[in-house]
C-alpha cells in the first residue's frame, strides 16, 4: 500500500516584487482529505495535513468521545487511496455499538470543528470539568511559548501551518504536532499523549492560533487545566473555559501574556507587593 503524501510540496511560483518578475522555490503545506472510519463505516471526513496520522486517528476518536482510551481501538489501518486517506479503525465492544447511537454525518473544511453538526445543542456540548490542576510559574510558561517556534519543523518550511504542543514541568516542551487546521493539530497532540501514556493533566496545552470554543472543548476532553495561545480567545471560549475550570491564557508574546480565566494557577510575583 502506498505511503501518505508528503506533508509539504516544493512549488515554483512566479514572483512580482513591484519592479520585476522572477521564479523562486517555495515549500507549501499539503492538504488531504482524511476519512475516519469505524467498523468500515465513515464517521467524518476532514481536510488535514497528512502527517502523524496514527496520532490523528486516536486523538480525534478521544476528543469526539468515541472512545475513552487508546486501547479501545483494536486495529488501525492507514489506507492511502486516490481521493485521500482512510483511517480505518475497529473498536472494542461496547464502544462499537455506542458509536452508532450517537452517529452523525460530518464533512469538514480545513480544520472545521462543527461542520455537519445537526443541532445547536450538539454544537455546544458541555465539556467535562477538569479534575486535576497544576500551577505554572509565569516565566516558565513564557519560556515554553517562546521555544515553540523552533520546534515547528513543518512551519519553518512552509510558514503556513498551526501547531499544538504539550509542556510539563517534568518534561518541558515534550510534544509538538502541526497541521493546516488548528483543530487537527490539537487532535494529533491528544493522540500523541494518549499513545505515549502521558496524562494531559500533568501539563499545559500551547497553541499558535486564536483560541476558539472548539479548542477549549477539546482541551477539556483531554483533561488539561491550562491552555495558552499566541492570539486572542473568543468570548465564548472564555465562558466555556471558565465553566470547565480551565486556565485560559491568550496573547502570549515575548513581553508577557493575558490570563482570562482561573488566574490562580499562573504563579506571578507582583513587584508592587513583593517584600
Residues 6+ apart with CB under 8 A from 154: 7, 8, 29, 49, 51, 161, 178
Active-site residue, from 78, 112, 198, 201: 112
- For residue 120, whether the previous peptide bond is cis, meaning omega lies within 30 degrees of 0, is no
Q: Which of 169, 132, 172 is nearest to 150 (CA)?
A: 172
CA distance 167 to 190: 13
DSSP per-residue letters across 61-115: HHHTTS-SSGGGEEEEEEEEETTEEEEEEEEPTTHHHHHHHS---EEEEET-SST
Catalytic residue list contains 112: yes
Under 8 Å between Cβ of 155 and 179: no
Under 8 Å between Cβ of 158 and 7: no
Active-site residue set: 112
Amino acid at each position: 500500500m502506498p505511503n501518505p503524501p508528503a506533508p509539504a510540496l516544493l512549488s515554483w511560483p512566479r514572483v512580482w516584487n513591484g519592479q520585476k518578475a522572477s521564479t523562486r522555490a517555495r515549500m507549501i503545506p499539503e492538504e488531504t482529505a482524511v476519512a475516519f472510519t469505524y467498523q468500515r463505516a465513515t464517521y467524518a471526513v476532514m481536510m488535514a495535513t497528512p502527517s502523524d496520522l496514527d496520532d490523528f486517528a486516536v486523538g480525534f476518536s478521544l476528543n469526539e468521545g468515541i472512545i475513552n482510551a487508546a486501547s479501545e481501538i483494536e486495529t488501525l489501518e492507514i489506507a492511502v487511496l486516490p481521493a485521500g486517506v482512510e483511517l480505518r479503525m475497529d473498536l472494542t465492544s461496547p464502544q462499537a455499538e455506542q458509536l452508532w447511537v450517537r452517529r452523525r454525518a460530518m464533512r469538514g473544511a480545513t480544520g472545521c470543528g462543527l461542520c455537519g453538526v445537526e443541532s445547536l445543542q450538539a454544537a455546544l456540548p458541555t465539556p467535562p470539568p477538569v479534575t486535576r490542576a497544576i500551577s505554572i510559574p509565569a516565566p516558565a510558561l513564557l519560556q515554553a511559548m517562546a521555544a515553540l517556534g523552533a520546534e515547528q519543523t513543518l512551519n519553518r518550511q512552509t510558514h503556513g501551518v498551526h501547531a499544538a504542543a504539550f509542556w510539563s514541568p517534568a518534561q518541558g516542551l515534550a510534544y509538538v504536532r502541526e497541521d493546516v487546521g488548528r483543530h487537527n493539530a490539537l487532535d494529533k497532540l491528544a493522540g500523541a499523549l494518549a499513545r505515549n501514556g502521558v496524562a494531559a493533566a500533568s501539563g499545559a496545552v500551547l497553541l499558535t492560533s486564536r483560541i476558539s470554543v472548539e479548542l477549549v472543548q477539546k482541551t477539556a476532553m483531554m483533561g488539561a487545566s491550562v491552555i495558552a495561545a499566541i492570539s486572542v480567545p473568543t468570548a465564548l471560549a472564555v465562558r466555556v473555559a471558565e465553566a470547565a475550570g480551565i486556565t485560559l491564557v491568550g496573547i502570549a508574546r515575548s513581553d508577557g501574556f493575558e490570563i482570562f480565566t482561573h488566574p490562580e494557577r499562573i504563579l506571578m510575583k507582583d513587584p508592587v507587593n513583593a517584600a
